[in-house]
Amino acid sequence: MALVMALVLLAMPAAAQDLSVGRSLAIRWCTACHLVEPNQSMATDNAPSFPAIAARPGTTAAALDRYLSTGHTLMPDFLLSSQERDALVAYILSLR
């Protein structure tokens, strides 16, 4: 199964890979608090949706990367690699 997934990812353009990986990370790590997909029905009231984050005027790739690179009192530290952060940032920005 892992080999099949690796072959699929190799055949996809890099941008699509980032979005796919970012979406998977968001679903795995962020859905407990954030609405990360249009069809998601539950999240907390305390966390903004990913589309709302993406729509903020100050939301840039650099700003999101900085935010995801530092510890936060309201957000667990998932210790994302730089590639994972890049993929998650690409996914969030794709929701504009």
pLDDT of residue 73: 64
pTM for the model: 0.78
Considering the domain boundaries, does residue 6 fall inside one? no
Considering the domain boundaries, does residue 82 fall inside one? yes
Q: Which domain holds residue 76?
A: 14-94
State pLDDT tens for residues 42-64.
887 788 999 999 999 999 999 99
Considering the domain boundaries, does residue 66 fall inside one? yes
Cα separation, 5 vs 10, whole angstroms: 9
Is pLDDT at 9 greater than 50 in this prediction? no
Number of domains within the chain: 1
pLDDT of residue 91: 96
Cα separation, 30 vs 76, whole angstroms: 10
Helix (H, G, I), strand (E, B) or coil at 95: coil
Q: Which of 95, 72, 63, 68 has the alpha carbon at shortest distance from 83?
A: 68
Question: Mean of the per-residue pLDDT values for the chain?
Answer: 82
CATH number at residue 63: 1.10.760.10
Considering the domain boundaries, does residue 25 fall inside one? yes
